[in-house]
Amino acid sequence: MVEKNECPYLKSCPLFQFFKLEVSKKLYITNYCQGQFDKCERKKLKDIGKTVPDKLLPNGKHLQ
């Protein structure tokens, strides 16, 4: 069963392979992917068929 309050892209989102700290990754997942995923800048681009930069963060900044 698909979790209702989870971003449909979570299982395949390429962003998370770049995180060195598990704690930062968990924060984004809790706040966006399993929370307000409609506010995620990655999801907004993907939903309209645009290319999503690999290191774009849900808040619109880029992972260093």
Q: Which residue in the set 1, 4, 9, 31 belongs to the binding site for ligand SF4 (CB under 6 A)?
A: 9
Integer-rounded Cα Rg, in Å, for the chain is 11
Question: Which residue, 21 or 43, is less far from ligand SF4 as judged by CB?
Answer: 43
Question: Which residue, 17 or 42, is less far from ligand SF4 as judged by CB?
Answer: 42
* Rounded Cα distance, 44 and 39, in Å: 7
Q: Footprint of ligand SF4 on residues 30-49 (CB under 6 A)? A: 32-33, 37, 40, 42-43
Task: For the chain, list the strands marked E by DSSP.
Answer: none
Q: Where are the alpha helices (DSSP H) in 1-64?
A: 22-28, 41-47
The residue ranges that bind ligand SF4 (CB under 6 A) are: 7, 9-10, 13, 15, 32-33, 37, 40, 42-43, 58
